[in-house]
Amino acid sequence: MQIGMVGLGKMGGNMAERLRRGGHDVVGYDRDPAISDVGSLKELVERLQKPRAVWVMVPAGKPTQSTIDDLGELLDPGDIVVDGGNSHYVDDQKHAAELAEKSIGFVDCGVSGGVWGLKNGYALMCGGDQAHVDRLMPIFETLKPEGEDGFVHAGEVGAGHFAKMVHNGIEYGMMQAFAEGWELLEASDVVKDVKGSFKSWRTGTVIRSWLLDLMVRALDDDEHLEQLRGYAQDSGEGRWTVQAAVDHAVPLPVITASLYARFASRQDDSPAMKVVAALRNQFGGHATTSAEGATEKGADSPGADVVPPRETERR
């Protein structure tokens, strides 16, 4: 099958290569001319035979909107656009409606597999009309892992990215659990081989997983993670998952806490913790640390002299 691929970065480039290895005719476009097969979106569309299929693999938000707007002007009725990026499912519904006015089909497809997908295949979660999905099945069959799992037509437009959004929310929680367990083991003076403990869990335990394998791989490279700064970015899906939970009144304490932990990681000097430290000093006389790093004495410090509040202030 012939398909156009827009965006040939780490994911899109590997997906295009997997499709080529599977016997498909892929015409790729990227803003980087060194890796692009064509010089423009217009040239890409002209290279494709009708009815066309174009897979968009660019960052969510404005880049995706701009690309779909441009394709809407270049494609013909009967063509199909696939958004394989990490778009918000609400945007999918908007994009589908805009393209439908021109009789152009739209399928949203959440893709998971990272840089390992070229070798292992990609888990695909699709949303859209059954006829559009059926037409693209040769592409999906090549991209997915071997076997019966790894692909789902989750529902109408938006369902694919909604499923991928929840997938990434679960991923946040799982990574946070591994992170907290590692930190506790590192802080303990009882466990001497933290890396070995993680390795021992890879076989026979209920937490064995690909994430655990990747954790061991990271510890093999840097046993105490001393080369890394404790800073974690988020790409948006965690936020959208929490927002959707509020919309549907579904409690997500683990996923929400893991998202907030990422926010906390970006604060070298947490404003909220300044308030906590100040209040602990006020009600309990606990020691505080100045902005310069000096420790100020509190009631729990040797030699501290804190005047207790008057009886009326205690109430």
How many Å apart are CA 18 and CA 1, to the nearest integer? 13
Which residues are bridge partners to 279 per DSSP? none
- For 289, phi then psi, to 5°, come to -115, 130
How many Å apart are CA 290 and CA 288, to the nearest integer? 7
How many Å apart are CA 175 and CA 130, to the nearest integer? 35
How crowded is residue 169: how many other Cβ atoms within 10 Å of its Cβ?
24
Q: Give the pairing of strands 80-83 and 105-112.
A: parallel
Token pair belonging to 25: 């005719």
- For 256, phi then psi, to 5°, come to -65, -45
Token pair belonging to 278: 């100040």
Token pair belonging to 149: 């799992």
Q: Residue 179's closest CA among 133, 206, 218, 124?
A: 218
Q: Which of 10, 94, 102, 164 is catalytic?
A: 164
Q: Quick check: is 297 catalytic?
A: no
Q: Which residues are catalytic?
A: 164
